[in-house]
Amino acid sequence: MRVHVADHPLIAHKLTRLRDDRTDSPTFRRLADELVTLLAYEATREVRVQECEVVTPVATTRGVELATPKPLVVPILRAGLGMLDGMVRLLPTAEVGFLGMVRNEETLEAHTYANRLPADLDRRQCYVVDPMLATGGTLVDAVRYLVDLGADDITAIVLIAAPEGIARVEEALADLQVPVTLVTGAIDERLDENGYIVPGLGDAGDRLYGVV
């Protein structure tokens, strides 16, 4: 797995505001949206394009457009929804699928409870969005599921990641014959005994949408 930390002062600035426990939900949502757009710019460097012809007011020229089949954006419910607008702003013609996954707080394992994806992802580039990579179980399950459906290139976009989660994903997906890239705004220090990222930013879903 290729890991890319988007080292940019604007990303660092917005991430600092996200971490602040005084940041309210409306501001948190806005900052997350802005951050995703910045991260998506880095994450889509290898998006597939094809040549096309375009007529300008002056002449006919050659350009590029997104290749077919179009990329698929996959937010992990529910917190990943807070990153969706930022992704489709940059990729407005991409399709969107959804995976509902929840972590068992006792075993720290991820379980899938909802799936709204195309049945066939043959030759599709997929962009998985989730605010945090903590223990790594959710991302491992999501990537393997997408590969089983035919996806042949997967990029995960997270706001922050834990070293333990990155290591687990790399180990669990070592046998995968599909390129996987992780793009993150920061790699934090560690996980605590409850599987939360330190220093982290708290529970992203709760901070986006409130406690439910």
In a domain, 54, yes or no: no
Report the pLDDT value the prediction gives residue 86, as an integer from 0 to 100.
Answer: 87
Span 187-195, average pLDDT: 93
What mean pLDDT is predicted for residues 10-22?
94
Total of domains in the chain: 1
| pLDDT (0 to 100) of residue 206 | 84
Mean per-residue pLDDT of the chain: 90
Give the pLDDT confidence score for residue 15 in this predicted structure: 95
The DSSP H or E segment spanning 125 is strand 125-129
Evaluate whether residue 59 is within a structural domain. no
Q: How confident is the model at residue 154 (pLDDT cuts 50, 70, 90)?
A: very high
What is the domain range of residue 18?
2-48+65-209
Binding residues for 5-phospho-alpha-D-ribose 1-diphosphate: 78, 103, 130-138, 203
Instruction: Give the residue-averaged pLDDT of 158-166.
Output: 96
Does a structural domain hold residue 17?
yes
Name which residue leads in pLDDT, 182 or 88.
Answer: 182
Q: What is the DSSP string of 1-13?
A: -EEEE---HHHHH
**Does residue 178 form part of some domain?**
yes
Annotated binding site: 78, 103, 130-138, 197, 202-204
Q: Please compute the mean of the pLDDT values over residues 134-149 and round it to a whole number.
A: 91
DSSP label at residue 106: T
pLDDT at res. 123: 87
53 found inside a domain: no
Domain membership flag for residue 80: yes
Question: Which CA distances in Å does 108 have to 28, 42, 78, 120, 194?
Answer: 25, 30, 17, 30, 8
Position 191 pLDDT exceeds 70: yes
**Residues 23-56, buried b or exposed e (16+ Cβ, 10 A)?**
beeeebbebbbbbbebbbebbbeebbeeeeeeee
Could you give the angle at the alpha carbon of 97 between the alpha carbons of 126 and 46, nearest 5°?
20
* Cα angle: 25, vertex 98, 100; to 5 degrees: 70
Residue 111: is its pLDDT beyond 80? no
Given a contact cutoff of 8 angstroms between Cβ atoms, the answer to whether 108 and 56 are in contact is no
**3-state DSSP: the chain helix, strand, coil percent, rounded to 5?**
35, 30, 35
∠ CA 200-3-113, rounded to 5°: 65
CB atoms inside a 10 Å sphere around CB 120: 10
Neighbouring residues of 65: CB distance < 8 A, sequence distance ≥ 6:
49, 50, 52
Confidence of residue 205 (pLDDT cuts 50, 70, 90): confident
Q: Which residue has the higher pLDDT, 59 or 104?
A: 59
Residue 60 lies in a domain: no
Q: What does the pLDDT average to over 199-205? A: 88
Would 57 be classed as within a structural domain? Answer: no
* The pLDDT of residue 159 is above 80: yes
**What CATH number has the domain bearing residue 170?**
3.40.50.2020
Residue 107 pLDDT > 70: no
Which residues participate in the annotated binding site for uracil? 197, 202-204
Least confident of 115-119, 141-145, 186-190: 115-119
Question: Parallel, antiparallel, or unpaired: how do β-strands 98-103 and 72-77 relate?
Answer: parallel
The first and second tokens of residue 165, run together, are 């989660």
Catalytic residue positions, numbered: 103, 107, 203, 206
What mean pLDDT comes out for the span 69-73? 92
Q: What is the pTM of this model?
A: 0.89
